[in-house]
């Protein structure tokens, strides 16, 4: 195991599958103690077992990040079990059934805002409060290029929530860089869309590499940035 994050504790929400699982594994391979959080205990446990099979250290905590008390309990559990929190990858991306805005139900709209915006605000609120009192840290929020660069038919709620998340990320970064907390976001391309510039979209492991870089001191001058990961050349 590498020593880059030895002695550090990293939280990965949505760590039971996909990019969340890949990122949890990537942090563990770099020496971090990884806490994966989410709503599916079986998937979270599988991630922990994969990390432990490679010689890493991991823990799973059930939590629904759209509920403030769950987030408070999550943070308390991390601190009680592992002594603190140094890195957080806040991943959430509900889409629901894509529909034009006039056909979208209020529940679908609310689900996207709750997970992609309110939930990540709650996570940052409590992550920042801890990091501010304990020497700083790094936070990376998961967005999408649908919100940062383009709209897409049927994805209005998703795009709106992710665009708002980019603005929230920039504001939080400005407010807390003097506390020693670096806050950024990543915006992967939509892997279900055809015509990716390389003939494919970024794989989970490739996205995880970008998250790990943003958490590391190597990216210390990257602050409040929304890193687009779609393989395209942007102006």
3-state secondary structure the chain: CCCCCCCCEEEEECCCCHHHHHHHHHHHHCCCEEEEEECCHHHHHHHHHHHHHCCCEEEEEECCCCCHHHHHHHHHHHHHHHCCCCEEEECCCCCCCCCCHHHCCHHHHHHHHHHHHHHHHHHHHHHHHHHHCCCCEEEEEECCHHHHCCCCCCCHHHHHHHHHHHHHHHHHHHHHHHHCEEEEEEEECCCCCCCCCCCCCCCHHHHHHHHHHHHCHHHCCCCCCEEEECCCCCC
Span 68-110, pLDDT tens digits: 999 999 999 999 999 999 999 999 766 667 788 888 889 888 9
pLDDT given for residue 151 in this prediction: 58
Q: Name, of 77-81, 101-105, 116-120, 197-201, the range with top average pLDDT.
A: 77-81
Mean pLDDT for the stretch of residues 140-167: 79
Mean pLDDT for the stretch of residues 37-53: 97
29-33, 173-177, 230-234: which range is least confident on average?
230-234
Class of the CATH domain delimited by 9-229 = alpha beta
| pLDDT over threshold 70, residue 228 | yes
| pLDDT over threshold 80, residue 235 | no
User: What residue segments make up the domains of the chain, in order of their start?
Assistant: 9-229
For residues 12 and 1, the model is more confident at 12
12-26, 61-75, 119-133, 177-191: which range is least confident on average?
177-191
pTM reported for the whole predicted model: 0.93
Q: Name the nearest CA neighbour of 147 among 187, 198, 94.
A: 187
């Amino acid at each position: 195991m590498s020593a880059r994050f030895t002695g550090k504790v990293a939280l990965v929400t949505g760590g039971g599958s996909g990019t969340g699982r890949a990122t949890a594994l990537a942090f563990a391979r770099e020496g971090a103690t990884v806490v994966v959080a989410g709503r599916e205990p079986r998937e979270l446990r599988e991630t922990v077992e994969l990390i432990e099979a490679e010689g890493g250290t991991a823990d799973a905590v059930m939590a629904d990040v759209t509920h403030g008390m769950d987030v408070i309990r999550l943070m308390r559990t991390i601190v009680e079990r592992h002594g603190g929190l140094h890195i957080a990858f806040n991943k959430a991306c509900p889409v629901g059934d894509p529909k034009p805005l006039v056909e979208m139900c209020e529940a679908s709209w609310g689900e996207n805002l709750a997970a992609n915006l309110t939930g990540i605000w709650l996570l940052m609120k409590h992550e920042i409060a801890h990091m501010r009192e304990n020497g700083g840290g790094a936070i990376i929020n998961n967005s999408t290029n649908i919100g940062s660069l383009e709209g897409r038919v049927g994805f209005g709620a998703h795009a709106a929530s992710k665009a708002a998340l980019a603005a929230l990320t920039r504001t939080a970064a400005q407010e807390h860089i003097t506390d020693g907390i670096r806050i950024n976001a990543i915006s992967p391309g939509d892997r279900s869309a055809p015509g990716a510039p390389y003939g494919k979209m970024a794989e989970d492991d490739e996205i995880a590499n970008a998250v790990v870089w943003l958490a590391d001191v190597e990216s210390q001058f990257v602050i409040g940035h929304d890193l687009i990961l779609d393989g395209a050349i942007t102006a």
